[in-house]
Structure 1
């Protein structure tokens, strides 16, 4: 049996539809939406709700004002600035392009021929002559070996003090073979543990190859020839032999090298 729905008469407002009924334990709106609606109703009742027109007016307010100052004017901000600012900038970089990290730049004071003081490693405290900077950014130095027993080796510029003393090594020719690959060691694979006396086997110690010894002799000869014409060669040789050290009351930042 069909029931006919009566339409409301003209001029009579239609009745409001009932709120959606849900199963028990379920809410019509989410908790966040319900809270937002509750606060908006509360603000409307109290009259604290700001209209869109008023908000636009507040945004258009001037941020700076001109005030008289010493027969003139100065611009003053209406909003008080904070006294302290954060030291670190925690904002992430906008560009996602990865930076290419190449070899570090060598300091201007580290020119070929400069006498350096080593601060780390087996030969720390000794004075060496800078030969050149390698592609990796490391410095190629030597004692010479005949004077202070420092062989040709690589050193990082952070562990070095550059002195004002400099030698003329323009005539010194360093072999082309001496580069970063020259100093790489070949590590052998560990052998399997064999039964027997543990103390019978001795650890292998590093020994310089014949090519390294030959290269050291050629570089040392050229450096000693470069020192000979120097008028203060005796003092210079003693200076290279001596070690650097600080006595009581001496501070490195007050010294001039």
Structure 2
């Protein structure tokens, strides 16, 4: 911080002392506030708000097609899935496969994955048709209801996967099972859950 030298009276005070000109703010927010959240009272534009994306995240060298990943977040946290490819937006395409541990084709962030040394032969899996648009939710327009339809119950839409999605999942599962069946106990390994016990040191483990 910038400082200025000021004279100090008294024989035992050294004669002068450096004093900081900018002592910083006297108030600190109780919660963490992102620099992108606000421009502040001054109204000046925050350069952090104008920062452009640097592109997709670089894929870690430990993650290659067929690598078994341990998922650390989301609905399937603590489960194992097989990495297939990286999508255009940087997310990873993985599958359990579904017929083994119930994990369907889905996208995950590599920041919430642990790459293991176990590999699955996925050379026969065709992943060309799977992209970010494949997982996008269909846009539906809201219809304004009349007073007559207010008390009527809405017909429940099907929440399961479509026939096309189920067929794609089966095709991927069949191709992955050809590689899984070549390795003894690999299917049981994919079914098992990852957990830590008291005293375990995950940063020293070899997965």
Of 112, 119, 122 in structure 1, the residue corresponding to residue 65 of structure 2 is: 112
Q: Which residue of 1 aligns with 2:189?
A: 239
Of 146, 157, 164 in structure 1, the residue corresponding to residue 110 of structure 2 is 157
- Does structure 2 retain, via aligned residues, the 8 Å contact 1:115–1:166? yes
User: Is the Cα contact below 8 Å between 1:175 and 1:215 reproduced in 2?
Assistant: no
How far apart are residue 201 of structure 1 and its match?
A: 3.4
Structure number with larger C-alpha Rg: 1
1:125-144 to structure 2, matched below 5 A, reads 125-144=78-97
Question: Following superposition of structure 1 onto structure 2, how do residues 30-179 of structure 1 map, counting pairs within 5 Å?
Answer: 101-170=54-123, 172-179=124-131
Which structure shows the bigger proportion of residues in helix conformation? Answer: 1
The answer for the alignment partner of 1:181 in structure 2 is 133
**2:197 partner SS:** coil
Which portions of structure 1, spanning 4 or more consecutive aligned residues, are displaced by more than 4 angstroms? 97-100, 202-205
Residues 194 and 243 of structure 1: CA distance in aligned 2, closer, same or farther (over 3 Å):
farther
The aligned residue for residue 227 of structure 1 is 180
Does the 8 Å CA contact 2:125/2:176 hold for their aligned counterparts?
no
Gaps of 5+ in 2: 1-49
Q: Check whether the contact 2:69–2:80 (CA below 8 A) recurs between aligned residues.
A: yes
CA distance in 2, matches of 1:193, 1:169: 50
1:35 aligns to what? none
How big is each residue's C-alpha offset from its partner over 1:156-192, in whole Å with a ceiling of 9 and x where there is no partner? 101111111112222x232422111111111212222
Q: TM (normalized to structure 1)?
A: 0.56
Q: 2:110 and 2:154 mapped to 1: Cα distance? A: 39
Structure 1 pair 120/194, CA: closer, same or farther in 2 (3 Å)?
farther
- The whole-number CA distance in structure 1 between the counterparts of 2:73 and 2:53 is 29
2:165 aligned partner:
212
Q: Does 1:251 align with 2:204?
A: no
Q: Does structure 2 retain, via aligned residues, the 8 Å contact 1:139–1:154?
A: yes
* Structural RMSD (CA): 2.1
Deviation at 1:205, TM superposition (A): 5.8
What 5-or-longer segments of structure 1 have no aligned partner? Answer: 1-96
Preserved CA contact (<8 Å) 2:69 2:113: yes
In structure 2, relative to structure 1, the CA distance for the partners of 1:139 and 1:194 (3 Å cut) is: same
Say how many residue pairs are matched: 156
Cα offset, 1:250, TM superposition: 2.0
